[in-house]
Amino acid sequence: MYQGRSEVLRPAPDDVRPPRSDDVNLAAVERGISAACGTLLVLSGLRRRSLPMLIGGSALIYRGATGVCPVYRAIESQAGGPLSDGLQVEEAITVNKPPETVYALWRRLENLPRFMSHIESVTVTVGNQSHWVAKLPAPLRLEWDAEIVDDQENKKLSWQSLPGSRIDHSGTVLFHFVPSRNSTEVKVILTFKPPAGSVGASIARLLNFLTKTQIRSDLRAFKAVAETGEKPTTIGQPSGRWPKRIGKRRRDPASAARQDLISHSSSSSSEATQWKAQ
Amino acid sequence: MRAVCWNGKKDVRVETVPDPEIINPRDAIVKTELTAICGSDLHLYNGNIPTMKAGDILGHEFLGEVVEVGRGVSNLQIGDRVIVPFPIACGNCYYCAHELFSFCDNSNPNGGLTETFYGQPAGGLFGYSHLLGGYAGGQAEYVRVPFADVGPVKIPQDISAEKTLFLTDIFPTGYQAAEYCGIRPGDTVAVWGCGPVGQFAIRSAYLLGAERVIGIDRIPERLELARQSSAAIPLNYENVPIAEELREITGGRGPDACIDAVGLEAHGFGLTGWYDTAKQKLWLETDRPTALRQAIYACSKGGTVSIPGVYGGGFVDKFPIGAAFAKGLTLRMGQTHVQKYAKRLLSMIEADEIDPSFVITHRLSLEEAPWGYEVFNNKEEECIKVVLKC
């Protein structure tokens, strides 16, 4: 995984050397078992003239002999590599809105939890500084303070955790106007690094969760909200799956309309404020 | 409410489930008046589409009355009678803004999955697997309609539901297929598959100026319907060699455009976990894109092959790229941008230029849906199109 497509998901630059594809990643016992099973498979493959068995067996023998398992390697790097390295994720998406709008949505950092699934809340404290809380299952907890270090209107936004934080986190968002589509390319670069020698449970958990796939999905959510004003979902819709909440019945249309007006007036204000650009 | 739920291969049941509610501001709830079983629902019925879950509500062709609207929907009123296009489209993304509604960037909450399979996220559809959104479908008494300010088209109360229901899918699908052919006056168009979409492709090709349209199938009643109601030239591929026959009919040139309204038993291409299973299935299915191969082979030089038939995400074996290249064919395909066509086609219905109800053979109640699926799937009782009354 460290060759080719995963370039985007790699340890932060000044970390220890990333694992290479020929690094041994199997323990001696597993190598032995692998080689033995492989030999058995090849032998019975020869007897039954089965090509798949021969191929599978050979792969196991190779794995045992070299101590290198590409599957494990792939799994490791999907999880962001060895945890102590921290990680850097880059992702990009095109939003069908001009840079002014897209920049404004990011610049208001309180908006981030609405689409960044690893962030519980961001609160602007004073000036360019803000307080961040990661979304982790209880009792894990991870908070830090950050400040905006580079702010170029409609072009670039960078933040960095303050010295002394439990996690070294930085984020950069670049906004690039695409005139032919009247759209904005948004490129996000996030780095997360635990301070040397201290991989706490919360940090490990957060880094495990932050895969390229997850950030991509978050950006898709950002795009949806920026373009449509809402996040498409099917959560809460009916199905025939257990447990069925049978008994819920439609109100008659007239009373539904009245109820609707009431519930909307109360909920709309909170949602609107959440999504206002600065 | 009562809803048609998928419970596994060839196992659909009408069950009591909770009523849908408004979830997002741009949602509306529609009380179904009439719904239908689509040929593509049979792919689900036969277990050929991945990412279905037991309990999923089926259906994507439905018409009914708006009973509730979210605060973001201002163009619909409670009591409006609407048809709802089967692709869900946000109206805001680049593709929606360019009338390519079925390519919507935002309507599929599981867009990431489709991005893995197709390189780009696919839009969401009603009742058509979790890969394509996981939305509860229209074979139910009530349906939640997301982005209701974009999709639904109001239908006058005095037009029958049967005339307008197919604006949701099969009529625009046949029409788009014919439009993709770039028909010029005097052209000959050949249509593989005389199921409901094929019937509308034949009719639309005539409406768009084709001189002759040839319908190809093996089922006598479908060929007969194409001949009777749309004046197609019927060809039964079990009785005649199609390529030779087409060459003969067209003075040796081949049809100017060919439409594949058959598709593949759409095979989804699975998650990495069951990559092998999918591959295995595909190997079993290498003979399925027969219609597409024939269409490419028969088409005239410089002609167009238009594909409304569903190809799910699998790979096609022995694709005749050599013939397509040698003849410089244009291939057009994709899910239908229903929102683009619905209003135009509605005015054609209002002007009595077409009555889409001619394809209906079975009128059942929602409760009879399982039987409808069985009959339609087995092509029993000369079944061509099943509608379900709620």
The residue among B105, B130, B135 with the most chain A CBs within 10 A of its CB, best to mutate, is B105
Contact yes or no for A268 and B23 at CB 8 A: no
Task: Name the residue facing A233 among B23, B31, B93 (closest C-beta).
Answer: B23
Cα separation values, B323 from A68, A153, B250, B328, Å: 46, 54, 18, 8
Residues in chain A closer than 8 A to B124 (CB atoms)? 232
Q: Is the peptide bond before B289 cis (omega within 30 degrees of 0)?
A: no
How many residues can be counted in chain A? 278
Question: Residue A224's pLDDT is what?
Answer: 96
In percent, the amount of chain B with pLDDT more than 70 equals 92
- CB–CB contact A240 B53 (8 Å): no
Is the pLDDT confidence value at B285 over 70? no
Are the Cβ atoms of B93 and A242 closer than 8 angstroms? no
* pLDDT of residue A1 exceeding 60: no
pLDDT at B44: 92
With cut-offs at 50, 70 and 90, classify the pLDDT of residue A79.
very low
As given in the structure block, the two tokens for residue B241 are: 């060699």
- Contact check, Cβ <8 Å, B68/A260: yes
Task: Verify whether the Cβ–Cβ distance B67 to A238 is below 8 Å.
Answer: no
Residue A105 — very low, low, confident or very high, per pLDDT cuts 50/70/90?
A: very high
Residues of chain B positioned with their CB less than 8 A from the CB of A227: 90, 92-93, 105-106
Task: Tell which wins on pLDDT, B259 or A17.
Answer: B259
Beta-strand runs (E) in B121-267: 124-125, 142-145, 153-154, 188-192, 212-217, 233-236, 257-260
Q: How confident is the model at residue A58 (pLDDT cuts 50, 70, 90)?
A: confident
pLDDT of A75 over the 90 cut = no
Of A232, A236, A268, the CB nearest to B107: A232
Question: What pLDDT is recorded for position A260?
Answer: 39
Q: Is the pLDDT of residue B171 over 90?
A: yes
The whole-number average pLDDT for the span A47-68 is 75
B29-62 residues labelled b (16+ CB within 10 A) or e (exposed): bbbbbbbbbbbbbbbbbeebbbbbeebbbbbbbb
Q: Check pLDDT > 60 for residue A208.
A: yes
**Residue in chain A nearest B112 by alpha carbon:** A217
**Nearest chain A residue (CA) to B6:** A240
Q: How far is A50 from chain B (nearest CA, A)?
A: 17
Residue A230's CB: how many other CB atoms inside 10 A? 21
> Which DSSP helix (H) or strand (E) runs through A192?
strand A183-193
Could you give the CA distance from residue B103 to residue B92 in angstroms, rounded to a whole number?
A: 12
How many CB pairs lie under 8 A apart between chains A and B? 136
User: From the list B1, B72, B109, which residue is nearest A234 (CB)?
Assistant: B109
Tell me if residue A147 falls in helix, strand or coil: strand
Nearest alpha carbon to residue B102 among B342, B352, B362, B390: B342
Q: Is the pLDDT at A2 greater than 90, yes or no? A: no
Cβ-based contacts of B140 with chain A (< 8 Å): 238
Beta bridge partners of B259: B191, B306
CA distance B60 to chain A (A): 15
Mean pLDDT in residue range A225-243: 90
From chain A, the residues in CB contact with B146 under 8 A are 232
pLDDT of residue B281: 54
Local confidence band at A34 (pLDDT 50, 70, 90 cut-offs): confident
Q: Which of B24, B31, B69 sits opposite A233 (nearest CB)?
A: B24
Cβ within 8 Å, pair A223-B105: yes
pTM exceeds 0.90 for this model: no
Residue A245 has what pLDDT? 52
Q: Which residues of A184-217 are buried (b: 16+ CB within 10 A; e: fewer)?
A: bbbebbbbbbbeeeebeebbebbbeebbbebbbb
Cα–Cα nearest to A86, from A152, A166, A156: A166
* Best CA proximity match to B88, nearest among B75, B104, B71: B104
Q: Is A270 on the interface with B (CB under 8 A)?
A: no
Choose, out of A216, A220, A237, A248, the residue to mutate when testing the contact with B (most B CBs < 10 Å). Answer: A237
User: In this model, does residue A74 exceed pLDDT 80?
Assistant: no
Kindly report, residue by residue over B205-217, the tens digit of the pLDDT.
999 999 999 999 9
Mean pLDDT of B19-44: 96
B226-278 pLDDT per residue, tens: 999 999 999 999 899 999 999 999 999 999 999 999 886 533 333 433 444 45
User: Which chain A positions have a beta carbon within 8 Å of B147's beta carbon?
Assistant: 228
Q: Is the CB of residue B67 less than 8 Å from the CB of residue B152?
A: no
pLDDT for residue B55 is more than 80: yes
User: For B73-126, what is each residue's pLDDT tens digit?
Assistant: 999 999 999 999 999 999 999 999 999 999 999 999 999 888 888 899 999 999
Q: Where are the beta strands (DSSP E) in chain B?
A: 2-6, 12-16, 28-37, 56-57, 61-69, 81-84, 87-88, 124-125, 142-145, 153-154, 188-192, 212-217, 233-236, 257-260, 304-307, 330-333, 362-365, 386-389
pLDDT of residue A60: 78
Q: Does A240 touch chain B (CB under 8 A)?
A: yes
Task: State chain A's maximal CA–CA distance in angstroms.
Answer: 77
CA distance A267 to chain B (A): 10
Band of residue A207 on the pLDDT scale cut at 50, 70, 90? confident
Judge: A232–B53 Cβ closer than 8 Å, yes or no.
no
Dihedral pair phi/psi, residue A222, rounded to 5°: -60, -45
Subunit contact A238:B111, Cβ cutoff 8 A: no
State residue B275's pLDDT score: 44
AA identity, residue B84? V
CB-based contact B133 A234, cutoff 8 Å = yes
A249 in contact with B at a CB cutoff of 8 Å?
yes
**pLDDT recorded at residue B264:** 66
pLDDT of residue B300: 98
Chain B: closest CA distance from residue A131 (Å): 29
Taking the C-alpha atoms of residue B340 and residue B129, their distance in angstroms, rounded to an integer, is 24
Tokens of A216: 């991509």
pLDDT at A24: 66
> Which residue in this structure is represented by tokens 């003075």?
B251
Residue of higher predicted confidence among A68 and B196 = B196
pLDDT of B368 above 90: yes
The mean of the pLDDT values for chain A is 76
CA nearest A145: which of A158, A157, A133, A127?
A133
ipTM of this complex: 0.88
The reply to whether A231 touches chain B by the CB within 8 Å rule is: yes
Give the strand pairing for B362-365 and B386-389: parallel
pLDDT in tens, A172-205: 999 999 999 999 999 999 998 877 666 677 787 7
For position B50, what pLDDT does the model report?
A: 84
Confidence of residue A213 (pLDDT cuts 50, 70, 90): confident
Contact B203, B226 (CB under 8 A): no
Q: Which two tokens stand for residue B356?
A: 């889409």
- Give the bridge partners for A123, in sequence order: A131
Average pLDDT of chain B is: 92
- Measured CA to CA, the distance from residue A140 to residue A209 in angstroms comes to 13
Q: How confident is the model at residue A253 (pLDDT cuts 50, 70, 90)?
A: very low
Cβ separation A220–B112 shorter than 8 A? yes
Lowest mean pLDDT among A128-142, B13-27, B166-180, B256-270: B256-270
Name which residue leads in pLDDT, A78 or B111: B111
Residue of A nearest to B54 (CA): A241
In this structure, are strands B81-84 and B12-16 parallel, antiparallel, or unpaired? unpaired
**Residue B355: Cβ within 10 Å count:** 12
Distance to chain A for B32, nearest Cα, Å: 13
Cβ within 8 Å of B, A 73-132? 94, 96
SS3 label, residue B103: helix
Residue of B nearest to A218 (CA): B112
pLDDT in tens, B318-367: 789 999 999 999 999 999 999 999 999 999 999 999 999 999 999 999 99
